[in-house]
Amino acid sequence: MNIFPEKLVKCIVALFLLISVSSNAQNIDIRILRSLNSPDNLPSDGFFKFVSNSDAYVVVGIPAVIAVAGLIKKNDQPLRKAYVSFAAVVISSGVTQVLKYTVNRDRPFVTYPDIVKKSTGGSPSFPSGHTSSAFALATSVTLSYPKWYIAAPFYAWAGTVAYSRMDLGVHYPSDVFAGALVGAGSAWLTHFINKKLTKKPWQKSCDCQKY
């Protein structure tokens, strides 16, 4: 199980190399970004800055709320779900940082002067850290509470965070796509490990069926 992040890193690096060596793919990447990033100050920029900045608070706040609910109800299940969600965010952040400094891709506004930087973004570009943590949380919460009315708002928020990073000129579409993969993959990994750790001994030794 511990080699999963290594495999994920290799897959994402391979994706980046494929984009890098293909001038056509790179052209598509920057063309999409140019269509999303406006040189003008738009009314929507304030909204996207707000959503982008909300990432740090939401990925910490939601697990904290779930944990507090568990403490109030004296129920271990919400506490464990909160820990798993927070672990997913931590793992996705770690994988993202490794990828950022392994790939070391310049931000789009550095490479292309016509791209306007409208938000913070100083570390290497690939993949998007905001996107990876947002999708880690959205996927983790959805796996813990598999209801459409839980999944829909969380993925809508995560998708808006991802879009905002392009609108604000700090990430390429491929950065965002890779960030979503890292986040979702990290959430899946933490839930897979949690299921293995919490599986009862009798469940490990037999497959019981209802008669």
Quick: pLDDT tens for 62-101: 999 999 998 888 888 889 999 999 999 999 999 999 999 9
Number of domains comprising the chain: 1
140-172 pLDDT per residue, tens: 999 999 999 999 999 999 999 999 999 999 999
Domain assignment of residue 12, yes or no: no
Domain assignment of residue 158, yes or no: yes
What type of residue is 66? I
CA distance 189 to 92: 10
Q: In angstroms, what is the C-alpha Rg of the chain?
A: 19
Q: How confident is the model at residue 9 (pLDDT cuts 50, 70, 90)?
A: low
Domain assignment of residue 32, yes or no: no
Domain assignment of residue 33, yes or no: no
State the SS3 of 73-93. HCCHHHHHHHHHHHHHHHHHH
> In this structure, are residues 39 and 113 in contact, taking their beta carbons and an 8 Å threshold?
no
Domain assignment of residue 99, yes or no: yes
> In this structure, are residues 34 and 114 in contact, taking their beta carbons and an 8 Å threshold?
yes
In this prediction the pTM is: 0.85
DSSP annotation of 166: H
Measured from the Cβ of residue 134, the count of other Cβ atoms closer than 10 Å reads: 32
Domain assignment of residue 203, yes or no: no
Length of the chain: 211
21-60 pLDDT per residue, tens: 555 667 889 999 999 999 988 889 999 999 999 999 999 9
Domain assignment of residue 109, yes or no: yes
CA distance 125 to 170: 8
CA distance 110 to 125: 10
Domain assignment of residue 143, yes or no: yes
CA distance 59 to 66: 12
Q: What six digits make up the tokens of 4? A: 């999963």
User: Domain of 170?
Assistant: 44-192
Question: Which pLDDT belongs to residue 74?
Answer: 84
